Amino acid sequence: MKKLWVNAGIIGSVSAAFGSILWSQKTDEASPSRTCSTSDSDLASPYELQLVQVLFRHGARTPLKTIPNIMEAQWVPTLLEPPPHTHIDFVVTDLNGGPRPFAPLEEDYRKNVLSGGSFAGQLTTLGMQQLYELGKRLRQRYIEDSPFLSPAFSPAEVYVRSTNIWRTIESAKCLVAGLFQQKQKEILPILTTDAETEILYPNFRGCKLLKILGGPRWAESSALPDIAADLRSIQEALGIAAVAQKVDFILIRDDMVARETHGLPCPPALDTWRNKVEQRAVDMMCYIYNPEKRESLQLCVGPLLHIVLSNIEDKLQRASLEPNRKLLLYSVHDTTLIPCLMAMGIFDMRWPPYAADITLELYKHRQTNEAYVKVSYIGQDQLLPGCSGVYCPLQEFKQVLSAHSLSSDHYQSLCNSTEHLPK
């Protein structure tokens, strides 16, 4: 498999060439929609669309944490007001249709009140609009360009799953509102699960082995020589006491991008650090996820990739309990998309912008009846290493994902394994 992140595990320095482009399209955070390829589900195409799966990041939000002891941005509640056109009737349930599970991560966010009065990690008005626009892009492709989906939302056709965090739940709602222009036959159910069993992001809390193998790498990533040297320099430029504050490039990037996306002031010292902050934040993520180690990515996104493959097989074998289902939406995070892109061999060493999406389309060839999968990232078709074309024969696609896909039982077995515990 071609590895676009080949030097990331060592870090010494990920190519400076990447650094020069990482911030070149920072406006992607504010407007990630790009032109989709021409629809392939019309009769002129030899490929007939069967199923669409979309993994998408939530929209713009308030920062998770702010850079301490610097110019404060005012995150006022008016930044969070929902646009009227994003309204749609919805209900949040567990995976079986019962009450929404308790959300400890959301509780943690709400303990962190930012300057201005908003909570940390909350979807903003701009973020809601970004997901609405993503929904409109999907509408153009799957409703207007070709009648793949019905023009009004129906749970028989569309499945919506989200992490149990309010910004991803709201993002899913806004996407569906844009996709169906607020037209719905029934209330939109958004399915979630509890924090211990979540598989839509790398679950360091719920998977014991992932915590053992990956947890320490968060701290280690900031101590890598080149990253540590740059961190000391930026802390000095910002006037942050290096010992007293727990600050790293991921935190700095998060606050910086959130501010600039919403037109809020940034410390002037960051002006000359933008590219380096982007580069080092990505370097850290590559070290944390450790893509050179198969087991690392397996534990991060293996169960999610398995679900993606299972959905394809169920559709082809007509084994689904919902035979009319055509679209599966998964509202996730940047920390989901990065390891997914790594596992597919198409991570471009750039942080996924707000509302970024990985879309997987299943096709059948009209003449041969063979199955193909086409993957796009932010509206751009991708040629996966190991695939003979953008339309990837299903067996080749399954081979690409097989190195990292994990069944639920296998995942749980690995998570509970004591093989890697310190002696």
Give the residue numbers marked as catalytic. 58, 334
Helix (H) or strand (E) holding 357: strand 357-365
Q: Are 193 and 94 in contact (CB under 8 A)?
A: yes
Amino acid identity, position 136: K
Among 98, 97, 86, 152, residue whose Cα is nearest residue 125: 86
CA distances from 21 to 33, 90, 229, 261, 356 (A): 18, 40, 22, 18, 17
DSSP 140: I
DSSP string across 257-283? HHHHHTT----GGGGGGHHHHHHHHHH
Query: Any residues with CB less than 8 A from the CB of 180 and at least 6 apart, and which?
Result: 88, 135, 139, 151, 152, 153
Among 130, 148, 137, 146, residue whose Cα is nearest residue 57: 130
